Amino acid sequence: MAAKIADDATLDEIRAGLAAELPMNAAFDGWNDTALAAAAQAAGIDLDVAKLAFPGGAVDMIDAWFAHVDAEMATALPPEKLSAMKIRERITALVEQRLATLAGEREALRRALAVLAMPQNALKAARLGWRSADRMWRLAGDTATDYNHYTKRAMLAGIYGATITVFLDDETPEWADTRAFLSRRIDGIMRFEKAKAKLTGRMGSENRLSLSRFIGRLRYPAT
């Protein structure tokens, strides 16, 4: 049963409170006012007030849900737990924890990705992917502020997006195919980071390796 939201809750609190409830309704009704109405009713919130919390409609609902998934991931993997892992293990654990949170809501996720794939939502989709990648790298302990900050997040966003594509149709026990796919992609990141460290030690900033083609291959890799 959904947790009731206080009558004096702010719009931000309403948005956060409905985030976990929305996908179970969106799986059947889509990311629309019908799903929002069901979530609002379960939480004891007037629909008109709930709409004020999501002025952007479906995209705002999806945004709130993904933020909820980020928060669940951070709660499940606190710093003291991640600190005992190597960097590769941290990234793997963080991605797999996101998948575990999404596992029961794959139809809602499928519908959410369809909304974000619309041309008018392309920029928002890119921002949401970047936000999740940034959150994972920060939780993993990354403090880079130079161009490494951007390349790491671009690569992880691409890998995460490709992994989600596999995950949506993975019927193997405990998503074995998805885990294997993810492992191969993260191996690629680690190899690239090692090679990049060697290259940047010998190359000036004006001659650094172009990453666009490499990142494109990560986004749509061969399985």
Tokens representing 63? 């945004």
**Mean confidence (pLDDT) of the chain:** 88
| Residue keyed to tokens 């994972």 | 136
Which of 20, 161, 135, 148 minimizes the C-alpha distance to 82? 135
Complete DSSP assignment for 142-179:
----SHHHHHHHHHHHHHHHHHHHHHHT--SGGGHHHH
Which residue spans within 1-139 are E strands per DSSP? none
Round to whole Å and give the CA distance between 210 and 11.
Answer: 43
Higher pLDDT, 193 or 123: 123
State the average pLDDT over residues 16-21: 95
Q: What pLDDT, on a 0 to 100 scale, did the predictor assign at position 110? A: 97
Q: What pLDDT, on a 0 to 100 scale, did the predictor assign at position 168? A: 96
Residue 192 has pLDDT above 90, yes or no: no
Residue 211 has pLDDT above 60, yes or no: no
Round to whole Å and give the CA distance between 42 and 5.
Answer: 9
State the average pLDDT over residues 161-170: 96
Q: What pLDDT, on a 0 to 100 scale, did the predictor assign at position 209? A: 44
Round to whole Å and give the CA distance between 193 and 147.
Answer: 13
State the average pLDDT over residues 170-181: 95
pLDDT band for position 201 (cuts 50, 70, 90): low
State the average pLDDT over residues 6-27: 94
For the whole prediction, is pTM greater than 0.75? yes
Distance of CA 99 to the CA centre of its chain: 9
Which CATH architecture group holds 11-219? Orthogonal Bundle (1.10)
**In Å, what is the CA distance from 69 to each residue of 59, 66, 103, 114?**
15, 5, 11, 18
pLDDT band for position 148 (cuts 50, 70, 90): confident
Question: Tens of pLDDT along 85-112?
Answer: 999 999 999 999 999 999 999 999 999 9
Cβ neighbourhood burial of 64 (10 Å; 0-12, 13-18, 19+): buried
**In Å, what is the CA distance from 134 to each residue of 76, 124, 139, 158, 220?**
17, 15, 9, 12, 20
State the average pLDDT over residues 154-179: 95
